[in-house]
Amino acid sequence: MKIALAQINPTVGDFAGNAKKILEYASRAEALGVGLVVFPELAVCGYPPADLLEKASFVARAEEVAAELAQWTTGVGRPAILCGTVMATKASVGKQVRNVAALLDGGKLSFVQQKMLLPFYDVFDEQRYFEPAVEQALVCVRGEPLAITVCEDAWNDKSFWPRQMYPVDPVEKLMGQWEAQSQDLVGRQRVILNISASPYWQGKQQVRQSMLAALARRHGAFVAMANQVGGNDSLVFDGTSLVIRPDGEVVAQAASFAEDLIVFDMEDGAAGAVEKPVDEVAAMWDALVLGTRDYVRKCGFSKVLVGLSGGIDSALVAAIAVEALGKENVIGVGMPTEYSSLGSIEDAKNLAKNLGVRFELLPVHDVFAQFQFLLQPLFKGTPFGLAEENLQPRIRGTLLMALSNKFGALVLTTGNKSEMSTGYCTLYGDMVGALAVIGDVMKTRVYALSRYVNRTKEVIPWETISKPPSAELRPGQQDTDSLPPYEVLDPILEAYVERYCSAEQIAEEQGVDVALVRSVLQLVEKSEYKRQQAAPVLKVTRKSFGMGRRFPIAVKVQV
């Protein structure tokens, strides 16, 4: 039997749109003569639906849609559909919802495999909503025996992980059944299907592939994983659906960061490997582009605004926005004060010209002067300081939000992960905005991505890339007045924020003074309040700010 993996981009809660997409892909699979078409985890309602799952009407709607989709499988020659959805539980104890792989065949719901392992770490919170499966069962589709798993069910293999997170391994259980039923299944190729909603972070594609290859080798099985693609709030799903043969070789791989349909046939399993190497910078770029596009469009917008300072962060965000939404949908706004260098305004204009985007100049010297004048009686006798400096980003934030209200364009916020980690950003100032596009990208990585943007021609002006970073909030200000150089800072932050290393471990690992490390860690601890008020951050690393990293604010932490 030919099996198709349909890597679709659903929208959370858009039942009609998702069902239409499922049938569109199922029809394409039908035209290719497949017997079964496999869709990602929760394809019917989109992943992650979060607390929408607590509404009985949401779950009921998913059940109705699954029944409608089943109708489609009635026709002659129609493939069976295996798709992720939610269903109410029947028992009167426990959680009310099940995360399931539903097999729709012959016009009806013919089999249900409930998810057994419910991830509850980082961005996942499935134990909050779902009742876990207590058992697994093999199923025959058009005469082919199949082992069906839902995402995390395949992530607990003892041959791959040094430590198993759960006491059971659903794949092991299913393969045990294959053994037990060997009389019926003798000579039959083992096949493990996995429907996934497995989000991207840097390096994730390789982890997923090696893990599934280990599973294939250990059980002598074909492993086929259909993954979701697309951005949903902070999460970006890369797709990269895979088919791996029993010797661990990849035999089919779907596109990354785009919808796709791939077909495989166990009989042609010997076909050459099609493994595509991953360029980490390119993958991160693709993730940021897709995450931005889907956030803006799925929220019902098409246009965005970016404050262009002539600096590298806003330049990179504008370049991502153009790739995601088209140059006609991006507006750059320059808002200089007396501390902005002439070069910065030129750099911002050149960037806008290179990107082909509309550029508006709103000099804010007078507004800034008016604010200071108004505050003068209260501020009398105090030196020019943070309060005055921060007025500038706050004026810019107010103007960007006014333009947003007037023209219905979302503001993209430009802070990077180094700044968000250390609190080097102004609350209600440069932190305004709908989406923190590069909030999970350290400054040193911002440079790498900018060079990637310029790989064929100069888009981000070289002046922007080569000048020392500065917030330009007072004469001659440079980031290094307040922070260590980014080459020193970023590895410290990565070790602390992403790997939870101690000051001593970091000092030893990186050969830096422990007092310097402590001063950086203190900045991280002191700025949690800012991060909790920040726009959603597109997750591109193992540990990003937002729902997968929860720390208290009113707290005393020793670093």
Ligand X SMILES: Nc1ncnc2c1ncn2[C@@H]1O[C@H](COP(=O)(O)OP(=O)(O)OP(=O)(O)O)[C@@H](O)[C@H]1O
Ligand Y SMILES: NC(=O)CC[C@H](N)C(=O)O
Ligand Z SMILES: Nc1ncnc2c1ncn2[C@@H]1O[C@H](COP(=O)(O)OP(=O)(O)OC[C@H]2O[C@@H]([n+]3cccc(C(=O)O)c3)[C@H](O)[C@@H]2O)[C@@H](O)[C@H]1O
CA dihedral 506, 511, 516, 520 (to 10 degrees): -40
Helix (H, G, I), strand (E, B) or coil at 227: strand
Q: Does 425 bind ligand Z (CB under 6 A)?
A: yes
Q: Does 473 bind ligand Z (CB under 6 A)?
A: yes
Is 428 annotated in a binding site? The answer is no
* Span 417-446, contacts to ligand X by CB under 6 A: 419, 430
Residue number, 307 or 536, with CB nearest to ligand X: 307
* Span 24-43, contacts to ligand Y by CB under 6 A: 41
> Residue 151 binds which entry of ligand Z, ligand X, ligand Y, none, with Cβ cut-offs from 5 to 8 Å by kind?
ligand Y
Write down the least CB distance from residue 305 to ligand X, Å: 9
Segment near ligand Y (CB under 6 A); pick from 4-12, 151-159, 294-302, 438-446: 151-159
Q: How many CB atoms lie within 10 A of CB 360?
A: 14
Question: Could you please report the per-residue DSSP string of 390-441?
Answer: HHHHHHHHHHHHHHHHHHT-EEEE---HHHHHHT-S-TTTTT-SSEETTTTS
Task: Catalogue the active-site residues.
Answer: 41, 115, 151
Q: How far apart are CA 81 and CA 252, in angstroms?
A: 20
Options 230, 239, 311, 423; binder of ligand X; rule CB under 6 A? 311
> Residue 164 binds which entry of ligand X, ligand Y, ligand Z, none, with Cβ cut-offs from 5 to 8 Å by kind?
none
The count of chain residues that interact with ligand Z, using the rule CB under 6 A, is 18
Return the bridge partners of 125, or none: none
Burial of 405 (0-12, 13-18, 19+ CB in 10 A): exposed
Q: How far apart are CA 146 and CA 420, in angstroms?
A: 47
Write down the least CB distance from residue 165 to ligand Y, Å: 9
Q: Does 155 bind ligand Y (CB under 6 A)?
A: yes
Options 241, 350, 354, 390; binder of ligand Z; rule CB under 6 A? 390
For residues 157 to 196, the per-residue mask of contacts with ligand Y, x marking binding by CB under 6 A and - elsewhere, is: ----------------------------------------
Options 107, 119, 248, 269; binder of ligand Y; rule CB under 6 A? 119
Options 426, 464, 541, 544; binder of ligand Z; rule CB under 6 A? 426
Q: Cα–Cα distances in Å, from 297 out to 45, 199, 200, 231?
A: 17, 19, 20, 10
Is 435 annotated in a binding site? The answer is no
Place of tokens 């030129």: 346
> Residue 498 binds which entry of ligand Z, ligand Y, ligand X, none, with Cβ cut-offs from 5 to 8 Å by kind?
none
Options 471, 489, 497, 520; binder of ligand Z; rule CB under 6 A? 471
* Span 492-551, contacts to ligand Z by CB under 6 A: 529
Q: Helices 443-453 and 486-493 meet at what angle, rounded to 10? A: 110
Is 121 annotated in a binding site? The answer is yes
Q: How far apart are CA 41 and CA 39, in angstroms?
A: 7
Place of tokens 């080459």: 487
Write down the least CB distance from residue 374 to ligand Z, Å: 18
Burial of 379 (0-12, 13-18, 19+ CB in 10 A): middle
Write down the least CB distance from residue 169 to ligand X, Å: 46
Q: Does 151 bind ligand Y (CB under 6 A)?
A: yes
> Residue 440 binds which entry of ligand Z, ligand X, ligand Y, none, with Cβ cut-offs from 5 to 8 Å by kind?
none
Instruction: Please answer whether residues 117 and 156 qualify as being in contact, where contact means their C-beta atoms are separated by less than 8 angstroms.
Output: yes
State the DSSP code for 303: -
Q: Does 125 bind ligand Y (CB under 6 A)?
A: no
Return the bridge partners of 36, or none: 3, 80
Helix (H, G, I), strand (E, B) or coil at 31: helix
> Residues marked as binding?
121, 198, 204, 307-314, 390, 414, 419, 530
Which residues contact ligand Z (rule: CB under 6 A)? 386, 389-390, 393, 419, 423-427, 429-430, 471, 473, 479, 482, 529, 553
> Residues marked as binding for L-glutamine?
121, 198, 204
